[in-house]
Structure formats: structure tokens, C-alpha cells
Amino acid sequence: MDLKKLTIKSVRAGLDKKEFTAEELRAEFLQAIKKENSKLNAYLSVFDKDLEPITYNLKPVLAGIPCAIKDNILIDGTITTAGSKILKNYTASYDATVIKKLKKTGTVFLGKTNLDEFAMGTTTENSAFGPTLNPHDHSRVAGGSSGGSAAAVAAGLAVFALGSDTGGSIRAPAAWCGVVGLKLTYGRVSRHGLIAMASSLDQIGPITRTVEDAAVVLKAIAGHDSMDSTSSPRMVPDFTAELGQPITGMKIAVPKEFFGAGLNPDVAKTVERAISKLQMLGTHIDYVSLPLTDYALATYYIIVPAEISANLARFDGIRYGHSAKQTENLLATYTTSRADGLGDEVKRRIMLGTYILSAGYYDAYYLKAQKVRTLVKQSFDKIFEHYDAIVGPTMPMVAPKLGELSTPLENYLADVYTVQVNLAGLPAISVPCGNVNGLPVGLQIIGKHFDEETILKIAYAYEQSRTE
């Protein structure tokens, strides 16, 4: 079977018809991983030892479906590194809530995927264990920080995967690898068991081959969790219910700022063709202004380092993780462990965040950034008073070559279209919309708070129009 073409729907049908067993399917994927992962570096660990027979109830849609999990999401009894040397040998002592939910459905876990260290990056080049390569061109990055998850799905090394998205970390690699990446409304899915980067922005979400698959996975992992005070008590709808319904008459906004300086001209043309296709499907398209676009990136990179400096204080070489040996005293153990165990980008953000939160600078930077964050949210709310969704490019360029984004600033600028969504806590999906020189381009569809159904409906209609 062609693993690159398998979807949740097609695997479910094959299992139900007994064309193959779950054990046979798992074996096929494990063999493919063994063959291909040395080239891609998508997986950091593979669950191929002491395999237990797969037993499951046929009723759950995800029963027997092989998936991959980003290595900052805890699975009890497995190594969870967060892409960092400091957690190289850390074994998780409990399941993240999303893992508990997937286990209840009978989902089969293949392994843990590569990521930028502590999810800090756009290319997966910040991983302590080497970059993940793009399945379409091994000289290029897969994207980040969930690069391993996106590459695994694109290369046929998993049917679906989970990633996390703080400023675009699901959508960026999905766009560059040519798969679907869904960032959820903040609070839609529990963050319990996700190694935190920036807690007010982090969200777990699916990376899949199709929009329908994304809706299916979302249904399985969404819902309130008493272990996460930020998770929403809202009822979880059937996200597949409106897929296939006409999108005629829906009003879609296109921010003019998304097509300004910095956007690759060929990417712009590809996305504009996708927008024209949405118009042909009966939607009403208007170009609008999202005036704080130029300020959102700076705001994000003030708030995020501040939260990082607080969240990563726990990695001190004392409680767990890498601990320096033969140091003179406790302080030396602490400082040496962090110096040895943390990578350059992580150190950079910790130092920036500590500076931002220090006396005399908190008001000037952090407090001001939080005020701008409120304004960013309000600017989206204003557009959504009149429109059902916002569309534009996911990334300003196709997947760059390894080392091409050579400075931190170049990496940060690549997030220009994605970070605003996280600042506002909105849902967004990236769907493939074409290619430039053989490399995938993503169309980003942004929705109202807790309105994943609308963006899934639009994304599905667009996806189907491309396959007709």
C-alpha cells in the first residue's frame, strides 16, 4: 500500500473490511520509518520494541490508526526530550490529556517527533538532535517547531500527528511540507502534559493529510480538562458535520498587509489564485486592513521570551534532566547544567525575557506589549463583525534551504502572518494551495473564537475544489 496516500478515512475502511489488520499496518509504518527516518530525522524515538498486540473496539474512528506525537507532549514511560539536551534522558511519568484521549480511542502511537528545542524556532534547525529535512527536497527545512510531525505525515511515516503551535509552529511546517495543519482556539484543547514554552499562547493541534482528518482528530482531543484551568468548558461539536456543505454567500476578508513587502512574489500569486478559487466557490471576497500587523511580531517577541524565562526556570539541573557533574556548589550545578544543556536560541530567549521582566523595564516593554496584544485581538474582532473568516498566505516564502535563515531576526520575520493568530487566541488552518518550483505553499484561513467549524468548512470546500 502507498503509505503517503493513506488517510484516517481510508485506513478506517480498510480495517473495517479486514483488508489488513492494525498489527500489519503498524508493521508497515515501522518498516517505512526504519528505512526513511535516517534521511529525514523526523522521529527522535520510535516505539518498535516490546510491541503489544493491538486490541480495540471498532467503533472509534481512530481505533488502530497509527500516529506520531511531537516530543514535547508527554507519553507515560517514554523519553520526552522537547528537542533539548537538558531533557535527553527524561522519562515522562504521566500521559498528557490529549494522549489519554487518544488512548481511549485505540490510536496506535508510532513514536515521538523532532522539534526546535522547547518549540523555539521556525525551521527545526534549533533541535539539539539535528534538523528535520523537508520530504520534498532534502536540502531544505521542514519548518518548525513541529517539523518532525509535519515531515512524518508528508513522507507517509504516520497517518496523522500532533504538534503544538505558539506562534505558527503547526501551520508553518504544514505549509512547507504540503499537509494540513490546524491551530485551535486557545482553550479548545487541554495543554496538560505539554512542556510549556509560552503558556498564554501554546496550543496542541493536529497535522494531517486532509481537512476531514483534522476535524476527526480535533473531535477526539478537544474538551474541558480539570487539569488545565485555561481549557474551555464549551461543548465539543461534531467538527465534521458541516464538511461538504456549500460556502456560497460566506464573507471572507483578505488583509492588505499580508501582501506587502517580504512576501515572495510567486507565493503571492499562488495564494491569490487560491483566493480566486474561493470566490468561484461563491464566497464574497473583500480586501481589508489589519493595521497592527507591523506591530504584532514585535509584541509577540516581547511576550514570548518573558513567559519562557519563567517557564524554563524549572530546568535547573537539580529536579530532573541533565545535571552537571563535579561542580563546586549548588549555584555552579545550576548555572553549568543550564549552560551545557540549553541551546543558543533557548538561552537567547531566556535572557531577553529576564531583561524584559526586570525592574525598570517591565512597564516599558512587557506591560506595553500586553496592551498592544489587546489591540491586536480587538482589530480581529472588528473584522469578524462583518466577515466569516480571514484568508492569506501561511508563510511568506517556500521552505528555505538549510542555513538560509541564518540570523534570529530572519527566523522571527518568517512568522509574520502566523503570530497574530496566537496573540488573539484565534483558530486557524493551513491547507496546501499549490507549488512554487515544486515546493508546497500554504493558504491560511483564520476564524472567530471557537469557530473551528467555519474554517474547516471553507478549507474542505477549497481542498475538494482542487481535487475535482
Please tell me the distance from the alpha carbon of residue 205 to that of residue 221, in angstroms, as a whole number.
9
Contacts of 340 (CB under 8 A, 6+ apart): 85, 86, 322, 324
CA 258, 259, 264, 268 dihedral sign is positive
Task: Single out the residue of 242, 206, 261 nearest to residue 427, CA to CA.
Answer: 206
Confidence of residue 300 (pLDDT cuts 50, 70, 90): very high
Q: Which of 70, 100, 101, 457 does the annotation list as catalytic?
A: 70
Confidence of residue 166 (pLDDT cuts 50, 70, 90): very high
pLDDT for position 58: 67
The reply to whether 226 belongs to the active site is no
Instruction: Give per-residue pLDDT as tens, 48-57.
Output: 998 888 877 7
Instruction: Give per-residue pLDDT as tens, 208-223.
Output: 999 999 999 999 999 9
Share of the chain above pLDDT 90, in %: 90
Secondary structure of residue 178 in the 3-state scheme: coil
Please tell me the distance from the alpha carbon of residue 403 to that of residue 179, in angstroms, as a whole number.
23
119: left (phi over 0), alpha (psi -120 to 50) or beta: left
- Is-contact 141 133, C-beta < 8 A? yes
CB-based contacts of 407-414 (< 8 A; 24+ apart in sequence): 408/345, 408/348, 411/121, 411/122, 411/123, 412/122, 412/297, 412/301, 413/262, 413/297, 414/122, 414/172
CA 187, 193, 199, 204 dihedral sign is negative
Q: Which of 169, 231, 232, 430 does the annotation list as catalytic?
A: 169
Q: How many residues does the chain have?
A: 468
What cell numbers appear for 159 in the block?
497517518
Task: Single out the residue of 46, 117, 133 nearest to residue 81, CA to CA.
Answer: 117
Average pLDDT rounded to a whole number, residues 3-20: 95
Whether 468 shows a pLDDT value over 70: the answer reads no
pLDDT for position 182: 98
The reply to whether 251 belongs to the active site is no
Instruction: Give per-residue pLDDT as tens, 302-352.
Output: 999 999 999 999 998 888 788 888 788 888 888 888 889 999 999 999 999
Please tell me the distance from the alpha carbon of residue 125 to that of residue 73, in angstroms, as a whole number.
19
Type of residue at 287: Y
User: Dihedral through CA 407, CA 410, CA 412, CA 417, nearest 10?
Assistant: -170
pLDDT for position 317: 84
Please tell me the distance from the alpha carbon of residue 65 to that of residue 345, in angstroms, as a whole number.
35
What are the beta bridge partners of residue 206?
Answer: 162
Give me the chain's average pLDDT, please. Answer: 96
DSSP result, 192-251: TTBPPSSTTT-EEEEEESSHHHHHHHHHHHBS--TT-TTS-------TTTTTTS--TT-E
The reply to whether 70 belongs to the active site is yes
Average pLDDT rounded to a whole number, residues 236-242: 96
Instruction: Give per-residue pLDDT as tens, 373-409.
Output: 999 999 999 999 999 999 999 999 999 999 999 899 9
Phi and psi (nearest 5°) for 118? 55, 30
Q: Which of 45, 84, 127, 145 does the annotation list as catalytic?
A: 145
Whether 259 shows a pLDDT value over 80: the answer reads yes
Domains and CATH numbers, the chain: 3-244 (3.90.1300.10)
pLDDT for position 135: 98
Instruction: Give per-residue pLDDT as tens, 110-147.
Output: 999 999 999 999 999 999 999 999 999 999 999 999 99
pLDDT for position 445: 99
In this prediction the pTM is: 0.97
Instruction: Give per-residue pLDDT as tens, 65-118.
Output: 999 999 999 999 999 999 999 999 999 999 999 999 999 999 999 999 999 999
